[in-house]
Amino acid sequence: AEDNVSPDEMLALDTGQAVGTLQGKRVKDPTFGLDAVWIPQGEADAATGAGYLVVDSGTVVATHLNQALASSSADLLGPDEVQALLDGLKERAASLVASLSPNPVSLTTLTTVLRGLLAENISLKEFRRIAAAIATAAQKTLDPEEILELTRPELGPLIIQKLCGVREPLRVMTLEGQLEALLGQAVRSDPSRRHTIEPDLGRRIADALQRAAQPLVNEAKPFALVVQPAIRIAIRKLVKTVLPDTPVMSFFEVPEDKAVEVVAVIGAPEALPA
C-alpha cells in the first residue's frame, strides 16, 4: 500500500463526533479507514474544538507502520524464529519444552500454529503460557488447525486484555441462534473442512456486521464477535475481509467471570437484507 503524508500539516480525523467541514486535502486515514483532512498546524485547535481527532504526521506514520508490522508478523515468523523462542523458554521451563518439541509437536507444526495465532493478532509475548496450552492440545491431536482451536480457550484472557480493562465489560456482537444453527449445519456437512459460507449469505452477513460495527469503529470502541466454536473459523474467514482487526472468538474463549455487554445481534437469515 502507498500513502502520501504532509509533514508540515496535521491530520484531522472524523470519528463520528465532528461538526462542520474543514478545508484541506481529503483522505482516508490509512490505519482506521476514517474520513480525514490534512490541515495547517495553525488550525489544529479549531479542528479539535469542532470534534475532530487531530494528530501530527509523525504519529500517523508510526501508527500505520505499527499496524503494517503487526499484520505482517505471521509472514515474518519462520522455523528459525520459533526455535529461538523454544531455546529461550528452555532456560526457564526445560520440562515444558521437552514435553512439547520436537516430539510430539514438530517444529513445522509448531510454526504453523504460532503463525495462526499471530494472524489473528494474538501476541507471542506470553510464550510460556502459549507453549503450555499447545502441549496440552497436542495430547489430543497433531493437526495444526485443531491444535490452534484447542489452544485458543486457554488464551482468551490474552485476546480480551486488548479490548477492555479488567473491570470493564467486554463489548461483543453475536449471531442470532437460527443463523448460527444454519451455519453450523453447513460447516459440519462439508467433508472437505473448508470452513466456507455460501457466498450470498456470507455477503449479507458481512454487510450486516459492517453496519452494526460502524458506530463502534467511529468511536474507537473495540469489540469482539463471539460465536459457536464449530463456526468460528468460517466466520473469521468472512470477517477478516471486512473487519480485519475484529477478533472472532468462540464462547469457550470468554472467561466465565468476565462481564460482557452485547452491543448487537446479527439476525436470522431471512431478516438479513438481500
Contact of 271 with 181, CB cutoff 8 Å: no
Instruction: In whole angstroms, give the CA distance from residue 249 to residue 226.
Output: 5
What is this structure's pTM? 0.72
Q: In what order do the strands lie in the sheet with 9-13?
A: 25-28, 35-40, 9-13, 53-56
Decide the pairing of beta strands 224-227 and 170-175: parallel
Contact of 9 with 24, CB cutoff 8 Å: yes
Tally of structural domains, the chain: 3
255-264 pLDDT, tens digit per residue, is 999 999 999 9
> For residue 176, what is its C-alpha cell?
442470532
Q: What range does the domain containing 186 cover?
A: 163-271
Q: What is the CATH number of the domain that holds 52?
A: 3.40.30.60
Instruction: In whole angstroms, give the CA distance from residue 254 to residue 226.
Output: 8
Q: Note whether residue 3 is domain-resident.
A: no
Q: Note whether residue 1 is domain-resident.
A: no
Q: What is the CATH number of the domain that holds 257?
A: 3.40.50.12790
The amino acid that residue 8 corresponds to is D
Instruction: Indicate if 32 and 89 belong to the same structural domain.
Output: no
Instruction: Indicate if 14 and 112 belong to the same structural domain.
Output: no
81-136 pLDDT, tens digit per residue, is 999 999 999 999 999 999 999 999 999 999 999 999 999 989 898 999 999 999 99
Least confident of 47-56, 121-130, 190-199: 190-199
Instruction: Indicate if 149 and 168 belong to the same structural domain.
Output: no
Instruction: Indicate if 41 and 86 belong to the same structural domain.
Output: no
Q: What is the 3-state secondary structure (H, E, C) of 44-106?
A: HHHHHHCCCEEEEHHHHHHHHHHHHHHHHHHHHCCHHHHHHHHHHHHCCCHHHHHHHCCCCCC
Over 70: is that where the pLDDT of 67 sits?
Answer: no
Instruction: Indicate if 141 and 179 belong to the same structural domain.
Output: no
